[in-house]
Amino acid sequence: MNTHPFDNAIALAATGQDGWEGRTSPDYANFIGPYGGIMAAQALNAVMLHPQRLGEPVAFTVNFAAAMADGPFEARARPARTNRSTQHWIVELLQDGQAVVTATALTAIRRETWSGDEAVMPAARAPQELAPPTQPARVAWLGRYDMRFIGGSVPYPWDGQDRGHSRTALWVRDNPSRALDFPSLTSMADIFFPRVWLRRGKPSVVGTVTMTVYFHADGAQLQAAGAGYLLAQAQGQGFRNGYFDHAGHLWSEAGVLLATTHQLVYFKE
Amino acid sequence: MNTHPFDNAIALAATGQDGWEGRTSPDYANFIGPYGGIMAAQALNAVMLHPQRLGEPVAFTVNFAAAMADGPFEARARPARTNRSTQHWIVELLQDGQAVVTATALTAIRRETWSGDEAVMPAARAPQELAPPTQPARVAWLGRYDMRFIGGSVPYPWDGQDRGHSRTALWVRDNPSRALDFPSLTSMADIFFPRVWLRRGKPSVVGTVTMTVYFHADGAQLQAAGAGYLLAQAQGQGFRNGYFDHAGHLWSEAGVLLATTHQLVYFKE
């Protein structure tokens, strides 16, 4: 009854071996179809729920192959290879028997080793000192995240100026707040508005075509992050002939690198 | 007769719809099994050879699921979704009916748009002014690449010092030289020796588990790069509990960003 909208959105009902049924959630609607992050979380959740899963997610790549229509979808996740401590997955979300999302995942049992991070969280004011965006949220999913921009917020009103860079940093957490887990971290890896809008100071038709997330944190570290804010930072790398990519990082409020992420985005002009 | 070792290594013979047979090449042997880059190129080549392919590669993710044994392998590539100008692929390389490599690819017909790069090639001395490594190549594949380290070369003799960073830049091309194409660029995206060796100044058992390549260049821009050197740069981001990732970039000798790449690597200690 009191289920968080995120848990509702990623819920899957088993339909047989390697198969589930899910349903799009109006809470995470985007301009056309659902927010990409929620589809990524749904695909990963099929792996999380699989009775044969070994270990926790370490790497996840999701490809957005077509627009998802509002309504039910089929999820398929199968272990393509299971080793002693690692497992490789192939995942698809389908509608009318056609792939809408494809994905691969690696889950693994991790053990403690030497550790050291090179991607260090930038200095930033505390989230509580920063105001939420004042623009009205034109799509439902924006209301599902509490965002506090540190720099590189949506350049609105549009000025059409080439900023020469497309770097954004923000604090983000679920709204209402919710303890972090692998699906919600995956969804937040897609939180960045299109880099080309920032770079050029104007909107254009865009769509993420593929996103990869590397999980540096294990379940215990996600638990430690709890319902706190994450610092999310991304910057475009190359924009050319209809596609651009960005590289992103997600740290816990305490400064622990939780995940790195990359994506490639279609843009019309 | 005079075929380049790279073309020999990625050659695939069609065995039916969506199926091919390939064979590992001793020219690209690594410590255990083949060099990861050549397996990635083999997987991508199944897409390149597919009669239903639409457009050119834009994104490619390859997962190394198990050690490949010397000898034949089966390649399977199927278009999971074909749209008007994009196509999503699922690829597997198998031995004994078991997946050794899984991959997804996006191919697309690109059209000219506004373009701008943020990942700019670092200043570097010309490849001709830099000497090749003097260490003997202990594995065959190292002999297949002409490498000229600009900075961050293998820290040999091992000193066990934590360098605090793991950034490498080098010039690289095929040896003997060969005109660049999508499979060879994919292979070179895996050229970086393990970042953890550089960071810690000592070797450890490692294995790449997944690599993603985003192609910013189209076929014409690869042709323009020709048989010249590429500037390849990579740096580790997070090292924790058995896995680290790095972010990399590949530019043509003329400074055109050809591809960005990321990978996650297992390390034993």
Using 50, 70 and 90 to split pLDDT, how confident is the model at A1? low
Please report whether residue A120 resides in a domain.
no
Helical residues (DSSP H) of A1-86, grouped into ranges: 5-10, 36-49
In a domain, B120, yes or no: no
Query: DSSP E strands: which ranges in A96-156?
Result: 98-108, 116-117, 145-151
DSSP H stretches of helix in A4-157: 5-10, 36-49
Name the one residue in this structure whose structure tokens are 């083999």.
B42
A168-191 mean pLDDT: 98
| B54, B87 Cβ separation under 8 angstroms | yes
CA pseudo-torsion sign A32, A35, A36, A39: negative
Q: How far apart are CA A84 and CA A34, in angstroms?
A: 36
The tokens describing A243, both together, are: 């596609």
- Report the alpha-carbon distance of residue B245 to residue A259 in Å, rounded: 10
What part of B 149-188 touches A (C-beta under 8 Å)? Answer: 162, 165-166
Strand B19-23 versus strand B72-82 pairing type = antiparallel
> Are the beta carbons of B149 and B191 closer than 8 angstroms?
no
Look at residue A189 and tell me if it is in a domain: yes
A145 pLDDT higher than 90: yes
Assigned domain for B115 exists = no
A118/B238 Cβ within 8 A: yes
What CA–CA distance (Å, rounded) separates A197 from A69? 25
Using a CB-CB cut-off of 8 Å, the residues of chain A touching B219 are none
Residue B59 sits at the chain A interface (C-beta within 8 Å)? yes
Residue B253 in any domain: the answer is yes
Confidence (pLDDT) at B134 = 85
Identify the CA nearest to B21 among candidates B71, B78, B64: B71
Q: How confident is the model over A59-111, as pLDDT tens digits?
A: 999 999 999 999 999 999 999 999 999 999 999 999 999 999 999 999 999 99
User: What's the whole-number mean pLDDT along residues A162-176?
Assistant: 97
Closest residue to B237, CB basis, from A83, A88, A118: A118
Share of chain A above pLDDT 70, in %: 100
Are residues A102 and B80, on separate chains, in Cβ contact within 8 Å?
yes
Residue A88's pLDDT is 97
- The stretches of chain B forming alpha helices (DSSP H) are 5-10, 36-49, 182-188, 195-200, 219-225
User: How many structural domains are present in chain B?
Assistant: 1
Q: Check A100 against B92: CB less than 8 A apart.
A: no
Length of chain B (residues): 269
Q: Which of A139, A80, A84 is nearest to A108 (CA)?
A: A84
In Å, the largest CA–CA distance within chain A is 55
CA distances in angstroms from B265 to A3, A194, B237, B250, B269, listed in the order given: 37, 29, 11, 19, 12
pLDDT digits (tens, 9 = 90+) for B53-65: 999 999 999 999 9
How confident is residue A136, by pLDDT bands cut at 50, 70 and 90? confident
Structural domain includes residue A116 = no
CA–CA gap between residue B179 and residue B69 (Å, rounded): 29
Residue ranges of chain B whose pLDDT lies below 50: none
Q: Within chain B, what is the greatest distance between any pair of CA atoms?
A: 55
A residues 189-208 lying closer than 8 A (beta carbon) to B: 199-200
The ipTM (two decimal places) reads 0.97
CATH number of the domain that residue A78 is part of: 2.40.160.210
What is the residue range of B64's domain? 5-110+125-267
B97 to chain A, any CB pair closer than 8 A? The answer is: no
How many interface pairs between A and B have CB atoms less than 8 angstroms apart? 202
pLDDT, greater one: A32 or A179? A179
A115 part of a folded domain: no
Contact A237 B117 (CB under 8 A): yes
Tokens (6 digits) for B202 = 């000592």
Residue A179 within any structural domain of the chain: yes
CA gap A185, A261 in Å, rounded: 11
Cα–Cα distance, A103 to A44 (Å, whole number): 8
